[in-house]
Amino acid sequence: MAKKLHNRARKAGMAPGTLLYTGTKKDQVPQIHVITYDKDNIHETSGTQLDQCLPPEKPAGTVWVNIDGLTDTKLIGQLGARFGLHPLVLEDILDVNQRSKVDEFSGYVYIVLKKIIWNETRKTFGVEQVSIIFGDGFLLSFQEQQSTLFAAIHQRLQNNQSRLREHGSDFLAYTLVDVLVDQYFIVLEKIGERIAKVEDLIISDPVQHNARLLYRLKRQMLMFRKTIWPLREAVSHMLRVDGNLLTPFTGLYLRDVYDHTVQVIDTAETYRDMLSGMLDIYVSTLTNRLNEVMKVLTVIATIFIPLTFIASLYGMNFVNMPELHWRYGYPAVLSLMLVIAIVMLIYFRRKDWL
């Protein structure tokens, strides 16, 4: 997070509308992928130059331009000019610290979402920004780096029975959002598994190491929550977008996505509550162990310290100590010690310390 904030802070003082990529994937060469489709035909091109891929005049049907990699600010500028985008939209596409949001402009809708991908080796998730712009007959999508996430949608588009082919760019936009929100369930599942694991560890073996695991998990949830929290508002805003850009047909599907986002947020909140309950149990277990340790020390010390005192007493070298000369002095002292020890043991047993 610090790194991204650093890039964001670097932007301070620049004129608004200055195009500057604030992310960390700086060596991704932008890949352009253009699909033009309607109910009957579909056509795909890809490359790194815009004019290679995009025909000069607007084709019939829907054009989907997907850009992987945001390092080429000139390319973003060209696209902006081509589709009449506001300079601030271009700036926001490149500023990957945006919160998820939906902004309506005249003629198009701008959607910022977060792609959350689980990284199995580092046991954490990565966050990338995805921008989606859709208007009448076109959809532009921007990702920070290449991924296979939209591959399934490409395939579905190939199938000319697919609902995607029958509906316009708003339905395609919905599909992309749906795919991104579905990823959140996968990440939540992974986090949920880790929580269950740490829960077992915390209860069975409350060592410092596990407290740190817990803390890291908590931080992870904090980040996850911060990332997904604005989503509800964004999708709810999208539901209220003006009817020319969003058909009622797509609206029904979006309502479904909205339900999913609420479900994700709900589960995240429950995880957060579980984690704070786990900290409580961890701390109480620590105190319990301390009690147990202290009881052992106290029992041992309390039994043997008086006995040692008595032994020391008869180890004194006074000339005039009559007991030392009694015939049964030694067994008497031993018996006394035994009685003291037994009384102590009974006392501790009564107190439930043994």
Q: Considering only residues 6-45, where is the footprint of a second copy by CB under 8 A? A: 6, 8-9, 11-13, 15-17
Chain positions 189 to 208 lying near a second copy, rule: CB under 8 A, are 189, 192-193, 196, 203, 207-208
Chain positions 260 to 299 lying near a second copy, rule: CB under 8 A, are 262-263, 266-267, 269-270, 273-274, 277-291, 293-298
Name the minimum Å distance from CB 52 to a second copy: 30
Name the minimum Å distance from CB 121 to a second copy: 19
Q: Which CB, 321 or 339, lies closer to a second copy?
A: 321
State which of residues 103, 154, 158, 239 lies at the interface with a second copy (CB under 8 A). Answer: 103
Which of 121, 18, 128 lies closest to 77 in space, CA to CA? 18
Q: Which CB, 51 or 182, lies closer to a second copy?
A: 182
In angstroms, the Cα distances linking 60 to 54, 114, 140, 181, 312 are 13, 31, 16, 30, 106
Q: What gap in Å lies between CA 31 and CA 91, rounded to an integer?
A: 19
Q: Are 87 and 63 in contact (CB under 8 A)?
A: no
Amino acid letter, 267: T
State which of residues 29, 182, 338, 346 lies at the interface with a second copy (CB under 8 A). Answer: 182
Q: Are 96 and 116 in contact (CB under 8 A)?
A: no
Strand order through the sheet with 108-119:
42-47, 31-37, 62-68, 138-143, 124-135, 108-119, 101-105
Q: Which CB, 29 or 334, lies closer to a second copy?
A: 334
Chain positions 312 to 341 lying near a second copy, rule: CB under 8 A, are 312-321, 323-330, 333
Chain positions 224 to 253 lying near a second copy, rule: CB under 8 A, are 226, 229-230, 252-253
Task: List all residues 6 or more positions away from 276 whose beta carbon is below 8 Å from its beta carbon.
Answer: 218
DSSP 231-289: HHHHHHHHHTS-TTTS-HHHHHHHHHHHHHHHHHHHHHHHHHHHHHHHHHHHHHHHHHH
Chain positions 56 to 95 lying near a second copy, rule: CB under 8 A, are 86, 88, 91-92
Q: Which CB, 122 or 325, lies closer to a second copy?
A: 325
Chain positions 120 to 159 lying near a second copy, rule: CB under 8 A, are 152, 156
Q: Which CB, 50 or 188, lies closer to a second copy?
A: 188
Binding region for a second copy (CB under 8 A) out of 26-34, 121-129, 177-185, 234-242: 177-185
State which of residues 29, 117, 311, 336 lies at the interface with a second copy (CB under 8 A). Answer: 311
Binding region for a second copy (CB under 8 A) out of 35-43, 69-77, 124-132, 301-309: 301-309
Q: Supply 279's token pair.
A: 């900290």
Q: What gap in Å lies between CA 28 and CA 334, rounded to an integer?
A: 85
